[in-house]
Amino acid sequence: MATTTEATIRTLLAANLAATVPLLQSDVRFREHRYDVPFLDWAQQNRECLRVFSILDDINGWQPEVTNITEEWRVVVFEVLVAYPQTNRYGSGTAGARTRGEVVRSDLHQVESALGLRGFATYTNAAYLVDQSTPLAAVDGDGVTFLRGSLAYGIYRSMP
C-alpha cells in the first residue's frame, strides 16, 4: 500500500490552488501566505491580501483509526482560508467592476474544485477526502472577508 505524509498533502493542496486561474479579475492570482506571521492578523492589516491563502494542518492528536506493523490510517484536517479585503476595488471602470460577493462566489466554486471538495482532485492513491470536511463559506473579519473551511483527508502513513 502506498503511503504519504500530512506535509505532502498540504503541499499538493497549496500547489493546486496556486495553479488555479480565477474566472473573475484574473489579473490577481491565488498565492500562498509566507507564514512568517499569523495569517489572520496579517490579512487584517494588509489591504493587498486579495486571494492570498493559507492551508494549515490542525495537528490533532487523534489516534489512528487503523494500524498495523508497517502503516496506519489517519484522518488529517486542513484549515483553508482565502482573503478578500473589504476595501479593494474588484475590476476597473463601471463595466468591468464586480462586487466582492461576485468575486468570492466565483472563487468559491473554483477553490472547491481545486481542493477536491467536489471530487475533482486526486493527489495520491494514499490519501482520500473523507466526509468530515466543513464546507467553504464566506466569513467577515476586521476589514477582510475570508473563504473559510476545512478539508478532512484520510491518509495511509508509514509507521515511525
Looking at residue 97, its pLDDT comes to: 60
Judge whether residue 152 has pLDDT over 80.
yes
Most confident range (mean pLDDT) of 35-44, 71-80, 90-99 is 35-44
Which residues does residue 41 pair with via DSSP β-bridges, in sequence order?
Answer: none
121-157 burial code (b ≥16 CB/10 A, e <16): bebeebbbbeeebeebebeebeebbbbbbebbbbbbb
Judge whether residue 135 has pLDDT over 80.
yes
Judge whether residue 142 has pLDDT over 60.
yes
- Of 139 and 73, the structure prediction assigns the larger pLDDT to 139
Please give the average per-residue pLDDT across 127-137, as a whole number. Answer: 79
Range of the domain at 111: 6-158
Closest Cα to residue 13, out of 157, 110, 151? 151
Closest Cα to residue 57, out of 129, 20, 8, 17? 8
Low-confidence winner among 68-72, 81-85, 99-103, 135-139 (lowest mean pLDDT) = 68-72
pLDDT in tens, 76-97: 889 999 999 987 667 665 555 6
CATH number at residue 96: 3.30.2000.10
- pTM value is 0.86
Answer yes or no: is 92 within a domain. yes
Looking at residue 158, its pLDDT comes to: 80
Q: Where are the alpha helices (DSSP H) in the chain?
A: 6-18, 39-45, 93-96, 100-115
Answer yes or no: is 1 within a domain. no
Looking at residue 26, its pLDDT comes to: 82
What's the mean per-residue pLDDT of the chain? 83
Closest Cα to residue 137, out of 146, 128, 124? 146
Q: 84: which DSSP letter?
A: E
- Of 128 and 8, the structure prediction assigns the larger pLDDT to 8
Answer yes or no: is 30 within a domain. yes
Domain count, the chain: 1
